[in-house]
Each structure stands twice: as structure tokens, then as C-alpha cells.
């Protein structure tokens, strides 16, 4: 097993891609701590993992609140003393024109998608450093690689998170804490289905934006993160792995060709 006995904390782990990440890490032998704002889905996922014989625990938390990160740090410190991997995955999506976006909506997206990344690294730094060889993985988005209408707040938060991760990587490198980002395109999750109006709509959008012509599975994102957390990736630091079938690289050319 690639992650045997490695202590891992995953936010947004109650459902969707976060749940798949937790399952993948646990399957590789990690001791997983799940954080989520939804106590019901969080409890159900923790129970599922425990019933499979995995070491799993849960923390109800709002990633935009500093006191909840302090609570998470205390929990991890008291239970394990160290943290080998942090997967900062929790996030929200806002599809709205810039001129119609309220300042309150803007601040909410930034606080959950970007500021939480700062709080995570700041407060979990001591337990990450104590492990002697740690990894931070941020779930970003291919929205940080391009620009398109109606997602200004979301795109700005993800662009900021991508940049923040590089600076944290530079600052933490001498503590043997690697920091990398994963940038998925459309993932077949309940949140994305709801945002796109159903599975048929999300598949249609992905065919447009993803030259490989298929929707991304949560398990694919999870497996990439397992790799980044493992000893197979000990020389990968400050990197961004984009998982959108080439969409952010050359979809613009395809669109122009269709004109």
C-alpha cells in the first residue's frame, strides 16, 4: 500500500470528489480524517469507511472559519501528533455575471475557495512539519487556466489558490512539505450535476470543453492525489496538474476552427 499508516486530512470529504478521495486514501492504508460542513454526509462516509476496516474519523467544520481550523489542528495533534497529507478540497461554485454578483457573494466564494487554503496551511503547518515528510494538495480547477463568462468570482478564487500554493511551496520547501495543485475540469459529482442542470447537460458541456470527449470521474482525481501524496512523487513540488482532457490547452483553437 502506497500510504500505509500515513495520517491524512481531507476537507469537503462528505460527498462527491472529496468522498472519492477519502476512499482512495483509505484503500491505500492511510489513516483518514474527514472534514465537512454537512454533518449527515460526513457521518455516513466515516461510517462506511470504518465498516470496511479503515481507520477514519470526522470533524464537522466550516473551512471559512479560523476557529474551525484551530479545532481541526487540535484534534489532529491530540490524536496523532503529526499530519502526513493535507488535501484542501472543500469549495463552492457560483455561476453569475460579474455585474450581478453581490459583494457578499464575492466574499463568500473567496473565503471558502481561497482563504481556506491560507488558513489550512497556516494552522496545520506544525503537525505537517512534525511528520518530517509531508504533502499539501489543493483542489483548484481548470477555471484557473482560462477565462470565460459568468464565473468571475469562482475563477478569481481558483486563480488565487493556484498562486498561493506556489508561494507556500517556496516557503515550506525546507521543512520537507511539498505543495501541489490538481485542476480538474467537469467532474461527475452531485454538485456539478445540480449546477449544470443534470447529467445530460454536464456531459454535453464537457464534450464541448474536453477534447477527449468524456466526463471526469471522481476516482481519477482521487488517484492523482494518491500519487502526489505517495513516495512516488517526492520530487514533485510547486506543480499544477491539469485534468481537463486538454480543454484549457487548446479548446480555444477548436472553437475558432468552428467559426
pLDDT in tens, the chain (259 residues): 999 999 999 999 999 999 999 999 999 999 999 999 999 999 999 999 999 999 999 999 999 999 999 999 999 999 999 999 999 999 999 999 999 999 999 999 999 999 999 999 999 999 999 999 999 999 999 888 888 789 999 999 999 999 999 999 999 999 999 999 999 887 876 666 665 655 555 555 544 566 777 778 899 999 999 999 999 999 999 999 998 877 777 655 444 444 4
Q: Give the residue among 154, 240, 242, 255 at the shortest CA–CA distance from 209.
A: 255
How do beta strands 177-184 and 56-60 pair? unpaired
The three grid cell numbers given for residue 248, joined into one nine-digit string: 484549457
Catalytic residue among 125, 151, 154, 186: 154
* Residues 32/11, Cβ–Cβ less than 8 Å: no
The C-alpha cell at 127 is: 503537525
φ, ψ for residue 216, nearest 5 deg: -80, 135
> Residue 154 catalytic?
yes
Using CB atoms within 10 A of its CB, is residue 217 exposed (0-12), middle (13-18) or buried (19+)? Answer: middle
Structural domains in the chain, sorted by start: 7-190+217-249 (3.40.50.720)
Amino acid at each position: 500500500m502506497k500510504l500505509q499508516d500515513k495520517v491524512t486530512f481531507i476537507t469537503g470529504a462528505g460527498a462527491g470528489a472529496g468522498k472519492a478521495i477519502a476512499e482512495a486514501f483509505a484503500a491505500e492504508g492511510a489513516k483518514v480524517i474527514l472534514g465537512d460542513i454537512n454533518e449527515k454526509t460526513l457521518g455516513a462516509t466515516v461510517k462506511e469507511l470504518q465498516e470496511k476496516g479503515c481507520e477514519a474519523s470526522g470533524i464537522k467544520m466550516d473551512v471559512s472559519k479560523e476557529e474551525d481550523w484551530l479545532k481541526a489542528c487540535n484534534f489532529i495533534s491530540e490524536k496523532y501528533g503529526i499530519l502526513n497529507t493535507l488535501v484542501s478540497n472543500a469549495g463552492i461554485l457560483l455561476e453569475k455575471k460579474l455585474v450581478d454578483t453581490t459583494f457578499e457573494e464575492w466574499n463568500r466564494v473567496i473565503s471558502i475557495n481561497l482563504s481556506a487554503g491560507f488558513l489550512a496551511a497556516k494552522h496545520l503547518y506544525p503537525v505537517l512539519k512534525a511528520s518530517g515528510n509531508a504533502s499539501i494538495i489543493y483542489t483548484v480547477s481548470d477555471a484557473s487556466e482560462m477565462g470565460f463568462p459568468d464565473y468571475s468570482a469562482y475563477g478569481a478564487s481558483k486563480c488565487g489558490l493556484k498562486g498561493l500554493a506556489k508561494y507556500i511551496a517556496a516557503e515550506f520547501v525546507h521543512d520537507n512539505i511539498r505543495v501541489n495543485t490538481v485542476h480538474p475540469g467537469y467532474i461527475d459529482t452531485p454538485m456539478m450535476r445540480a449546477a449544470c442542470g443534470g447529467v445530460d447537460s454536464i456531459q454535453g458541456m464537457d464534450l464541448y470543453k474536453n477534447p477527449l470527449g468524456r466526463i471526469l470521474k471522481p476516482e481519477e482525481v482521487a488517484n492523482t492525489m494518491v500519487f502526489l501524496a505517495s513516495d512516488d512523487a517526492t520530487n514533485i513540488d510547486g506543480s499544477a496538474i491539469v485534468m481537463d482532457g486538454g480543454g484549457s490547452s487548446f479548446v480555444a483553437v477548436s472553437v475558432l476552427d468552428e467559426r
